[in-house]
């Protein structure tokens, strides 16, 4: 049984990185506009601080989703990469896999790092799928096992 690795998730997951960037930038702008700048109305700073709250909520939801793989019964299978593309610092990997004769498509958004650059179209990758919901899958190398 593979264990979910939160350190790997923070290193490789593109959605976590985007949410953390949004949180940090909004916090800095919000603090500046609300507490430091006297030229702009206070409510503009509150809008950015509200975006911080939303980012924290989204980060929590993403972490709960990823952590749910730790408690779930997982099926290990092979998937075929059907498309990869780079977008704003992330590597989007679309793959297809088949379980019990039913074909599923899934996209994982990963940080564009050395390890994710090596995944190309037509490659075969190892994934882990939730037994309770076969549409939920993660790439094994980037979310499970020991840190490499």
Q: What string of DSSP letters covers 28-50?
A: HHHHIIIII-SSS-HHHHHHHHH
Please enumerate in sequence order all residues whose Cβ is within 8 A of that of 135, keeping only pairs 6 or more positions apart, or say none. Answer: 104, 106
From the list 92, 88, 144, the residue with the least C-alpha distance to 117 is 92
Element (H, E) at 76: strand 74-87
| φ and ψ of 4, to 5 deg | -65, 140
Provide, for the chain, the percentages of residues in helix, strand and coil under a 3-state DSSP scheme, each rounded to the nearest 5. Answer: 45, 30, 20
| φ and ψ of 111, to 5 deg | -65, 145
Question: pTM for the whole thing?
Answer: 0.83
Helix, coil or strand: residue 100: coil
From the list 64, 67, 107, the residue with the least C-alpha distance to 83 is 107
Please enumerate in sequence order all residues whose Cβ is within 8 A of that of 59, keeping only pairs 6 or more positions apart, or say none. Answer: 16, 19, 20, 23
- The pLDDT value recorded for residue 92 is 93
User: pLDDT tens track of the chain, all 148 residues?
Assistant: 578 888 999 999 999 999 999 999 988 888 888 777 777 777 777 888 888 999 999 999 999 999 998 888 999 999 999 999 988 888 999 999 999 999 999 999 999 988 888 898 999 999 999 999 999 999 999 999 876 5
- The pLDDT value recorded for residue 65 is 93
Q: How far is Cα 81 from Cα 93, in angstroms, rounded to an integer? A: 7
Query: Is the four-CA dihedral 119, 123, 126, 127 of positive or negative sign?
Result: positive
């Amino acid at each position: 049984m593979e264990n979910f690795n939160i350190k790997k998730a923070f290193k490789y997951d593109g959605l976590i990185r985007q949410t953390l960037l949004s949180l940090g930038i909004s916090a800095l702008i919000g603090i500046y506009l609300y507490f430091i700048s006297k030229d702009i109305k206070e409510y503009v700073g509150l809008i950015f601080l509200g975006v911080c709250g939303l980012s924290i909520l989204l980060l929590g939801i993403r972490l709960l989703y990823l952590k749910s793989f730790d408690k779930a019964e997982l099926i290990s299978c092979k998937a075929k990469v059907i498309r990869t593309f780079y977008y704003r610092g992330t590597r989007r990997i679309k793959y297809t896999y088949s379980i019990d004769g039913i074909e599923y498509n899934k996209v994982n958004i990963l940080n564009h790092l050395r390890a994710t650059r090596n995944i190309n179209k037509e490659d075969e990758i190892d994934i882990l799928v939730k037994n309770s919901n076969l549409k939920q899958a993660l790439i094994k190398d980037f979310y499970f096992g020991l840190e490499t």
